[in-house]
Amino acid sequence: MTERDQGQDPAPPSNPHNEVDGSEEDKHAHIELPPAESTKQQSPSSAPLVNSNGWDGKLRMPPRNAVLSNPEVLSDPDYSDPDAPPVEQIEADEDLLDDYPPDSEDVDLVHCRISSIPALRLERFTKLKRLCLRQNAITSILLPETLGETLEELDFYDNLISHLKGLEDMKCLKSLDMSFNKIKHIKHVDHLHTLTELYFVQNRISKIENLEGLSNLTMIELAANRLREIENLDTLTRLEELWLGKNKITEIRNLSPLRNLRLLDLKSNRLTSIGGLSDLTNLEELYVSHNAISSIPADALSNNKKLRVLDISNNQISHLENISHLTELEELWASSNQLSDFREVENELRDKENLETVYFEMNPLQLQGPAVYRNKVRLALPQVKQIDATYVKV
């Protein structure tokens, strides 16, 4: 059926200057833009304002097409156009540091649109201990060798760095933050023997590797990457905090050497069970929310008697069980599961003298009787001071 058969004016001839030939059409995305609707409302009782030819006085435009020359931006979050105009940048020269005396121990240049480290002339700071270059446009780590004798904290959070070259001389470094960059591989850091804190949040890392020399590391954060397996952590025997949330990990494994681990974060992964924790006898905080865990096996937490915080929320757990031995428990987060029995809550938790906070909202035991839910929790657990997000009135 033609446009004329449908009661619409035919579209005007296309402009030959706007046509895209067959060779170019595959490189472009076409988006049809609907015609603008009239905002004027017509009274139901009024006669339609049309002439004898059926024209109602509105300008009818033919469908329009928008052509995107870079359709990848719609589907690829990592896409970048090499021909796009550069982001406006402030010259990263010594003027930015005029207010810092040469004996400064702390330099903080956040969100200054810096793209060149050498132009900052950092070698003038002979006592520099902390350098923060967050939220800039830095692509390469080009630090003067002289900083290696004094620098202890280095922060490149939210830049454009894709490779970890340039840290060879940082022999005193204790903290390194490379979060929110474009790093795909962990390399060129295993010589940083004094490092105690390492941050790689929100990068493109798919494998834990090349950390063998970091024997003094106490905290590593690898959340929001592309990890599928916990591996190559054997030499990090002093590690106390391991943050692995928002990855693609399917199994808790290879953690036995980490006897000093106090905190383990595995939320938002692909776990279906809790296990592999029997050797972590010093574990105090465990976060496994937003996974696909259906139960807590009898031996899952049997050796983790120092647990103070347990977060199992947003899973598929139907029975609260096998946690009665956790006498040090202070917080239990179990919202958005399939828990339905208040007797299990009382049996597992009533004798926990240190328990102050519990979350059970969005479980059947709350949804089936929301009006009496809080009172039932208080009766079952009289020691708690906070139920979900609300403090208990004394």
Tens digit of each residue's pLDDT (9 = 90 or more) over 81-102: 556 556 555 554 447 898 999 9
Express each pLDDT in 329-338 by its tens digit: 999 999 999 9
Mean pLDDT of all residues in 35-47 = 45
Q: Percent of the chain, pLDDT > 70? A: 76
Pairwise CA distance, residues 18 & 293, whole Å = 55
Average pLDDT on 208-226 reads 98
CA angle 54–55–58, rounded 5-degree value: 150
Question: How many secondary structure helices (H) and strands (E) does the chain include?
Answer: 4, 16
Higher pLDDT, 74 or 361: 361
DSSP secondary structure letters along 241-284? EEE--SS------S-TT-TT--EEE--SS---S--S-TT-TT--
pLDDT of residue 138: 98
| pLDDT exceeds cutoff 50 at 27 | no
Is the per-residue pLDDT at 25 higher than 90? Answer: no
**What is the per-residue pLDDT for 93?**
44
Mean pLDDT across the chain, nearest whole number?
86
For residue 303, name the pLDDT band (cuts at 50, 70, 90). Answer: very high
Q: Band of the pLDDT at 38, cuts 50, 70, 90?
A: very low
Q: Is the per-residue pLDDT at 262 higher than 90? A: yes
Asked whether residue 15 carries a pLDDT value surpassing 70, the answer given is no
Handedness of CA 281, 282, 284, 286 (dihedral sign): negative
H helical segments located in the chain: 22-25, 342-349, 364-367, 373-380
Q: What is the band of 29 on the pLDDT scale with cuts at 50, 70, 90? A: low
Question: Looking at per-residue confidence, does 47 or 275 come out higher?
Answer: 275
Task: Count how many residues are written for the chain.
Answer: 394
**Lowest-confidence segment of 95-104, 150-159, 175-184, 292-301 by average pLDDT:** 95-104
Three-state DSSP state, 211: coil
Mean pLDDT of 277-283: 98
State yes or no: pLDDT of 242 exceeds 60: yes
What is the predicted pLDDT for the residue at 53? Answer: 55
Instruction: Name the band, by pLDDT with cuts 50, 70 and 90, for residue 46.
Output: very low
Q: Residue 133: which of 166, 84, 172 has the closest Cα?
A: 166
> Which of residues 79 and 244 earns the better pLDDT score?
244
Cβ-based neighbours of 389, under 8 Å, separated by 6 or more = none
When pLDDT is cut at 50, 70 and 90, the band that residue 274 belongs to is: very high
Give mean pLDDT, residues 356-363: 98
Chain centroid to CA 62 = 44
Determine the average pLDDT of the residues in 106-115: 96
pLDDT value for 20: 41
Is a pLDDT exceeding 70 seen at residue 49? no
Instruction: Note the pTM of the prediction, 2 decimals.
Output: 0.77
Q: Rounded CA gap, 276 and 242, in Å?
A: 14
Q: Which residue has the higher pLDDT, 240 or 79?
A: 240
Letter for the amino acid at 372? V
Q: Which domains, from first to last, does the chain contain?
A: 89-218 (3.80.10.10)
Arithmetic mean of pLDDT, 16-34 = 48
φ, ψ dihedrals at 2, nearest 5°? -85, 170
Tell me what pLDDT residue 378 has. Answer: 95
Whole-number Cα distances in Å, 52 to 41, 45, 59, 322: 22, 20, 17, 82
pLDDT at 76 over 60: no
Phi-psi group of 342: left, alpha or beta (phi > 0 → left; psi -120 to 50 → alpha; rest → beta)? alpha
- For the cut 50, the answer to whether the pLDDT of residue 278 exceeds it is yes
Q: What is the pLDDT of residues 166-190, one digit of tens each?
A: 999 999 999 999 999 999 999 999 9
